[in-house]
Amino acid sequence: MTVTVLRRAAELLLVLVALSVLVFLLTSLAPGDPAEEILRRGGIQPTARSVAALRAELGLDRPLFTRYLRWLLDVLQGDLGRSYTDRSPVAAEIFSRVPATLRLAGAAALIAVVLAVLASVRAAFRPRALDSRAIAFVTVAIAGVPPYIVGILLISVVSVGLRMLPTGGADSPGAVVLPALTLGLAGAATLLRLLRADLVQALRMPFVKLATAKGMGSRRAIMVHALRVAAPNAITAAGTVLAELLAGAVVVETLFSWPGVGQLAVSAIRQRDLPVVQAYVLVIAVAAVLLLALTELCLAAADPRMRRR
Return the pLDDT at 227.
Answer: 65
Residue 16 has pLDDT above 60, yes or no: yes
Query: Worst-scoring range by mean pLDDT, 44-58, 191-205, 207-221?
Result: 207-221
Q: What is the mean pLDDT of residues 18-35?
A: 78
CA distances 113 to 146, 181, 184, 186, 244, Å, are: 19, 12, 8, 11, 14
Quick one: which of 243, 134, 289 has its CA closest to 196? 134
In angstroms, rounded to a whole number, what is the distance separating the alpha carbons of residues 26 and 71? Answer: 14
145: left (phi over 0), alpha (psi -120 to 50) or beta: beta
Helix (H) or strand (E) holding 101: helix 90-125
Residue 63 has pLDDT above 70, yes or no: yes
Residue 219 has pLDDT above 70, yes or no: no
Instruction: Give the tens place of pLDDT for each residue, 4-15.
Output: 667 777 777 788
Higher pLDDT, 234 or 95: 95
CA distances 125 to 87, 132, 185, 217, 298, Å, are: 59, 9, 22, 11, 27
Return the pLDDT at 61.
Answer: 80
Return the pLDDT at 225.
Answer: 62
Residue 287 has pLDDT above 70, yes or no: yes
- Domains of the chain with CATH codes: 90-308 (1.10.3720.10)
Any residues with CB less than 8 A from the CB of 3 and at least 6 apart, and which? Answer: none
The confidence band for 90, taking pLDDT boundaries of 50, 70 and 90, is confident
